[in-house]
Amino acid sequence: MAFSVISGVRLSALGVVVPSNNLSLHDELAHFDNNPEKARRMSELSGLATRRIAPPGVTAADLCADAAERLLEGRDKNGTGMIIFVSHSPDYMLPASASILQHRLDLPSSCGALDMNVGCAGFVNGLWMAASLIASGAVKKTLLLVGDTPARFADPDNRVVAPVFGDAGTAALLEAAPGEDMNFCLANDGTKHQALVIPGGGARIPFSAADSPADPAARLVRDGKNTPWTLGGYCRIWMDGAAIYSFGVSVVPRHIRKHLEKCGLATGAVRRLFLHQANKIMVEAIARKSGFSPEQTPFDCLGRYGNLGSSSIPAQMCAHFADGEREARQQVMLCAFGAGLAASSCILSLENTDIRPVREYSPPKNHPSRDDNIRHWHEKFYGKQHVNTAGAP
């Protein structure tokens, strides 16, 4: 466990954007033998009800850009020294999406740009990176963008993955603030990395234009429960739910207790614990084993938006605090866990944080479609001039 106290940094502002497309378990009754009672029981057990799905052509970077534009409105952008984009669904393999977002958000060219791929622990790990850069004196202000769009790429027939994940984008602004501290604990168990992984599409099992439909990577494999899995298709997640559950309810509570012990804090001193919104059973079990009451552990975003991965904690923070209630902001704990398998936590104050309500995505005018983007690149290949449109490459 890597413990660190980062001084002189504040989370100044936070906002989350979700797509307007809403898919309910009851919209998928064909997967429940057309039995509404089966869908209801699953919802009651897991906490899942509806999830948000990005429309065609909208990426995690688009969602984050919308959240950032709202957050930065009326603020001085010139002091931003770094933009960090945390996602497992970037626009391109190269360049970093952060570089594109720096231009799109009209940040100064003196601003550094960095992509990170962390999974569900991405927001907390991103906070650590952003705060570390500020505390080191390298920059005075960092824009942290966190988001993914796994729901759009899920196979609807895969009932392990499809009902779980929703799409979202987060924007957070961190600034130098003398006298304020953030306490972090980061840990990772790489021996369990295959419990949550996108196995196809990277350098290990690359996709090629020369691959035929008969290529083994494109083969659809069904497990003993008839769940379909494939290495083909962008962003197709393999998830071993039992392994992740075991990690969550055994490792994560110990992680939380050790972090509190390191800080000399009792659970009662932490006003709110914001856990990664994986599912109802895990959240309740982790909170109970860590010594936190249900009142201390808000949990209502999973049913509204789905498991938002790296955005699940900021979405829950925005849903809980955006009404202006401030008393419980004095000392909160964030704890995320997931791919890696990682467990990351942060204790901080949100008393001086501008926390916005969760908003629905507002697409820019003339947002390019997939066909628009294909046409753009074909014209570049041909050497023809191309007029760039909003959000295009």
Domain spanning 2-192+238-362: CATH superfamily = Thiolase/Chalcone synthase (3.40.47.10)
Residue 92: predicted pLDDT = 92
Q: Which amino acid makes up residue 59?
A: T
pLDDT band at 303 (very low <50, low <70, confident <90, very high): very high
Q: Worst-scoring range by mean pLDDT, 108-117, 209-218, 279-288?
A: 209-218
Token reading at 18: 């979700």
> Does the pLDDT at position 15 exceed 80?
yes
**Separation CA 61–CA 373 (nearest Å):** 15
Token reading at 40: 């209801």
17-56, pLDDT tens digit by residue? 999 999 999 898 988 888 889 889 888 888 888 999 999 8
| Residue % of the chain over a pLDDT of 90 | 65
Token reading at 343: 């467990």
Report the pLDDT averaged over residues 81-98.
95
Whether the CB-CB separation of 201 and 93 falls below 8 Å is answered with no
Whether the CB-CB separation of 166 and 16 falls below 8 Å is answered with no
C-beta neighbour count of 153 within 10 angstroms: 20
Residue 250: predicted pLDDT = 95
pLDDT band at 389 (very low <50, low <70, confident <90, very high): very low
pLDDT band at 323 (very low <50, low <70, confident <90, very high): low
Residue 365: predicted pLDDT = 85
Cα-based angle 55, 24, 297 (whole degrees, multiple of 5): 100
Report the pLDDT averaged over residues 75-90.
94
C-beta neighbour count of 325 within 10 angstroms: 10
253-279, pLDDT tens digit by residue? 999 999 999 999 999 999 999 999 999
> Does the pLDDT at position 387 exceed 60?
no
pLDDT band at 75 (very low <50, low <70, confident <90, very high): very high
**Separation CA 63–CA 54 (nearest Å):** 9
The DSSP 8-state label assigned to residue 26 in this structure reads: G
Dihedral of alpha carbons 265, 268, 272, 278, sign: positive
Residue 363: predicted pLDDT = 86
Specify the pTM: 0.92
Q: Where are the chain's structural domains?
A: 2-192+238-362
Token reading at 49: 């009800």
Token reading at 256: 């939380």
Whether the CB-CB separation of 28 and 49 falls below 8 Å is answered with no
The set of residues, in sequence order, having a beta carbon less than 8 Å from that of 61 and lying 6+ positions away, is 85, 87, 90, 91, 97, 100, 101, 145, 147, 169
> Does the pLDDT at position 224 exceed 70?
yes
pLDDT band at 301 (very low <50, low <70, confident <90, very high): very high
Cα-based angle 162, 121, 350 (whole degrees, multiple of 5): 115
Q: Worst-scoring range by mean pLDDT, 95-109, 296-310, 331-345, 374-388?
A: 374-388
> Does the pLDDT at position 392 exceed 80?
no
